Each structure stands twice: as structure tokens, then as C-alpha cells.
């Protein structure tokens, strides 16, 4: 019986693991990887203490920091698929069929990329439709690409593509971007980049590979086509919270609803932090801080028990 099981190895999970170890809480951390969603970033520039770090290096350093804690146990190639409440706490079952018992649980299972759900998206997946610019931008050498979505992930995708593609369009459904203004202003001046606003993508077309998209101009109602060989979908994420849907309250976005003072969920004994929670700002630094808040509160809860 562990006092705490942390689910996830992103910035929230790792921060929780380090703090729990230092509080001598008997802890197990279960994850399939370290570093969270930044793992695919070429260049993270806002992780405090690092002017610039690749997502890969950040993940490695997080893992090393966690493994340096003597008292923490780690399962690093499995994921939790279900949780059951029992008289002493909770029983967790993993994809590999292992079970673990805990008095308390911290959910830091993050989120995964959303899909557009339009004609052609599924058909051309990996044949010109991509969800990871860092991984697939090199395939756009000398070609034209379009990034869908006006958030920070979209802007990062555009930035990654400037190193390879001949022309990059950023197609956004509104007239203002959601992502950081500083990055956007730099990209707007880039000779290869063109921003198209108020544009709703309708269809991805091609033959064996993508060769164009069709979109609707929201203002004129006109349908237009854009010749591109790559479509990079960066329209946000959905939280990995299905496995607790019968245990804790979630909002309409499937985020686990927490008390933002303590990170406690609606179920006694379960806390959540990072992108799986209903935190407004999905940021590595915020996720770490929220997870630490949760561990402080879990420590008090275990003391009361
Ligand atoms: P966001 O939710 O921030 O942005 C998603 C974008 O996609 C929005 O512009 C949204 O439009 C658009 N969108 C959503 N659904 C559709 C659709 N069906 N069709 C067309 N467009 C759509 O997601 P991100 O992945 O960009 O970022 C997630 C979080 O991670 C954010 O909090 C972000 O700040 C953070 N992040 C931070 C980074 C950093 O700080 N370095 C790097 C990357 C991400 P609309 O604006 O109209 O809602």
C-alpha cells in the first residue's frame, strides 16, 4: 500500500514526485514517458531557469531529477487504465495488467492532441496530415505547408516549418490569435509566412498524398482552395481523464474539476494537476507549481489519516 501514487511523468508528475520524496511520503510514480507534451518541442524558451532547452533534454533532466530521489519508486513503461475505490483507499490497474494500492492519488496524466474531424483528415494521416511539427517539419523541405490553429502550438509549428518549407500559411478561424503576441509578431514579418484569418478549413484533398485544402472565408462566405503538401493540425488538446470519469467530477472539456487552493478533486483522496485539470493556463511552470500545491495538501491529508 503506497501513501501516494502519482499518475504521469510530465512537469506536474515529476514535480510532485520530487516533493513527495522530500516529504518522505511513500510514493509510486507510474508513467510511459518523461517530459510531457513539451517532449516534441525543438526549443522551449519559457521553462524558468533555462533560456532555451529542447523538449527532449527537458524530459531527460526531469527524469534524472526524479530518479535522484532515493525514496521514490517508478514504473516507467506502463499507464493506468482504471481506478477502483475500496475501504483502505484505491486499487489502480495498468495496461500491462498490474495492480497497485494507494491511500491517495495525484492525477497528472496530461492531455493529447485534438483532431479536426473533416473529410480527408483520416484518409491523409501521415500522407501530408501531421500532428507534430517538430517530428514532421523536415518532410516539408522546399514544399508548401499550412498550420491550422492560432494557439502557441500553432505558432511553434510555423516557427519549426520556417527551417524547411518554402511557404507556410497559418490558417486561423478568428481574426485574432490565441498564442503569444511576441512570437506572432516575429513570424508575421517572416518572408515565408502568411497568416490567413477568419478561415474555416472544410476539407483536405489530394491523390496519394495531400495536394490542397479547401476553406471558407467567414467574412465573404467564399470557398477557397490552397495548394499545400502538408497540413499541420495544432488545434489544442483533450485531457487524458477517461479512466476516472466515474470517480471524479469533470467539466464539459473533460477536465478534472479541482479546488484551485488545494488541487483536490470532488473525490476524497484524489487530486489533479496540470493539463488534465481545469487549470486555465496550460503551462509547464504552472503545472509544476499546481502539482507541488497538491503534494502539500496530500501530506496534510495523510497526516490526518
Ligand atoms: P490552444 O487551445 O491554445 O489553441 C488552439 C487553437 O486552435 C485556437 O486558436 C483555436 O481557435 C483553434 N481551434 C480549436 N479547434 C479548432 C477547429 N476545430 N478548427 C480550427 N481551429 C480550431 O491549444 P495549443 O495546443 O496551441 O496550446 C495548448 C496550451 O499549451 C495553451 O495553454 C498554450 O499556451 C500552451 N502552450 C504553450 C507553449 C509555450 O508557452 N511555449 C507552447 C505550446 C503550447 P480559437 O482561438 O478560436 O479558440
Buried b (16+ CB within 10 A) or exposed e, 138-172: eebeebbbbbbbbbbbbbbbbbbbeebbebbbbbb
Higher pLDDT, 43 or 264: 264
Among the atoms of ligand 1, which is closest to the Cα of residue 174? 47
| pLDDT tens digits, 17-27 | 999 999 999 99
| pLDDT tens digits, 55-106 | 999 999 999 999 999 989 999 999 999 999 999 999 999 999 999 999 999 9
Share of residues in the chain with pLDDT > 90 (%): 91
Q: What is the pLDDT of residue 43?
A: 78
| pLDDT tens digits, 239-248 | 999 999 999 9
Q: What is the pLDDT of residue 40?
A: 76
Count CA atoms closer than 13 A to 108's CA, side-chain side.
Answer: 40
**Single pTM value for the model:** 0.80
- Quote the CA–CA distance of 55 and 38 in Å, as a whole number: 5
DSSP per residue, 238-291? EES-GGGTTTS-B-TTSPBP--TTT-B-SSTTEEE-GGGBT-S---HHHHHHHH
What would the mean pLDDT of 119-142 be, rounded to a whole number? 91
What residues does each domain of the chain span? 2-113+237-304, 129-233
Distance, CA 234 to ligand 1 centroid (Å)? 7
Residue 45 pLDDT grade (very low, low, confident, very high; cuts 50, 70, 90): confident
Q: What is the pLDDT of residue 128?
A: 95
- Quote the CA–CA distance of 120 and 136 in Å, as a whole number: 18
Q: What is the dihedral of CA 75, 81, 85, 89, to 10 degrees?
A: 10
Distance, CA 94 to ligand 1 centroid (Å)? 30
Strand partners, 145: 168, 230
| pLDDT tens digits, 258-304 | 999 999 999 999 999 999 999 999 999 999 999 999 999 999 999 98
Q: Does the pLDDT at position 33 exceed 80? A: yes
- Quote the CA–CA distance of 127 and 97 in Å, as a whole number: 35
CB of 150 within 8 A of CB of 173? Answer: yes
Q: Does the pLDDT at position 216 exceed 80? A: yes
Q: Does the pLDDT at position 132 exceed 90? A: no
Q: List pocket residues of ligand 1, CB cut-off 6 Å.
A: 46, 116, 148-154, 156, 172-174, 178, 234-237, 281-283
Backbone angles phi, psi at 196, to 5 degrees: -120, 115
Q: Does the pLDDT at position 38 exceed 90? A: no
**Do 2-113+237-304 and 129-233 have matching folds?**
yes
Q: What is 129-233's CATH number?
A: 3.50.50.60
Counting ligand 1 atoms within 8 A of each CB, the residue from 117, 236, 282, 283 with the most, and so the one to mutate, is 236
Counting ligand 1 atoms within 8 A of each CB, the residue from 38, 47, 120, 152 with the most, and so the one to mutate, is 152
Q: What is the pLDDT of residue 135?
A: 77
Counting ligand 1 atoms within 8 A of each CB, the residue from 40, 47, 149 with the most, and so the one to mutate, is 149
Distance, CA 122 to ligand 1 centroid (Å)? 21
Distance, CA 110 to ligand 1 centroid (Å)? 15
Q: Does the pLDDT at position 175 exceed 80? A: yes
Q: What is the pLDDT of residue 233?
A: 97
Quickly tell me which residue has 483507499 as its cell.
89
- Quote the CA–CA distance of 30 and 18 in Å, as a whole number: 14
Q: What is 2-113+237-304's CATH number?
A: 3.50.50.60
Residue 136 pLDDT grade (very low, low, confident, very high; cuts 50, 70, 90): confident
Q: What is the pLDDT of residue 5?
A: 98
For the chain, what is the radius of gyration of the CA atoms? Answer: 21
Amino acid at each position: 500500500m503506497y501513501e501516494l501514487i502519482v499518475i504521469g511523468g510530465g512537469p506536474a508528475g515529476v514535480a510532485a514526485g520530487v516533493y513527495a520524496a522530500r516529504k518522505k511520503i511513500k510514493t509510486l510514480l507510474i508513467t510511459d514517458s518523461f517530459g510531457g507534451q513539451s517532449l516534441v518541442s525543438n526549443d522551449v524558451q519559457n521553462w524558468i531557469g533555462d533560456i532555451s532547452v529542447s523538449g527532449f533534454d527537458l524530459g531527460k533532466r526531469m527524469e534524472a531529477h526524479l530518479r535522484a530521489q532515493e525514496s521514490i519508486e517508478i514504473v516507467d513503461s506502463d499507464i493506468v487504465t482504471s481506478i477502483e475505490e475500496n475501504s483502505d483507499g484505491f486499487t489502480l490497474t495498468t495496461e500491462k495488467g498490474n495492480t497497485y494500492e494507494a491511500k491517495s492519488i495525484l492525477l497528472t496524466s496530461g492531455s493529447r492532441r485534438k483532431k479536426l474531424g473533416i473529410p480527408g483528415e483520416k484518409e491523409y494521416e501521415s500522407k501530408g496530415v501531421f500532428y507534430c511539427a517538430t517530428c514532421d517539419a523536415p518532410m516539408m523541405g522546399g514544399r508548401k505547408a499550412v498550420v491550422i490553429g492560432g494557439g502557441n502550438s500553432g505558432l511553434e509549428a510555423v516557427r519549426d516549418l520556417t527551417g524547411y518549407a518554402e511557404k507556410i500559411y497559418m490558417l486561423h478561424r478568428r481574426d485574432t490569435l490565441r498564442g503569444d503576441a511576441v512570437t506572432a509578431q516575429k513570424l508575421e514579418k517572416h518572408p515565408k509566412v502568411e497568416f490567413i484569418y477568419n478561415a474555416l478549413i472544410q476539407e483536405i484533398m489530394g491523390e496519394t498524398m495531400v495536394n490542397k485544402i479547401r476553406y471558407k472565408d467567414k467574412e465573404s462566405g467564399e470557398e477557397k482552395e490552397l495548394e499545400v503538401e502538408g497540413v499541420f493540425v495544432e488545434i489544442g488538446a483533450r485531457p487524458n481523464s477517461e479512466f476516472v470519469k466515474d470517480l471524479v467530477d469533470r467539466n464539459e472539456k473533460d477536465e478534472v474539476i479541482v479546488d484551485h487552493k488545494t488541487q483536490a478533486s470532488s473525490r476524497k483522496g484524489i487530486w489533479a494537476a496540470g493539463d488534465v485539470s481545469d487549470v486555465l493556463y496550460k503551462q509547464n511552470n504552472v503545472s509544476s507549481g499546481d502539482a507541488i500545491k497538491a503534494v502539500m495538501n496530500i501530506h496534510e491529508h495523510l497526516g490526518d489519516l
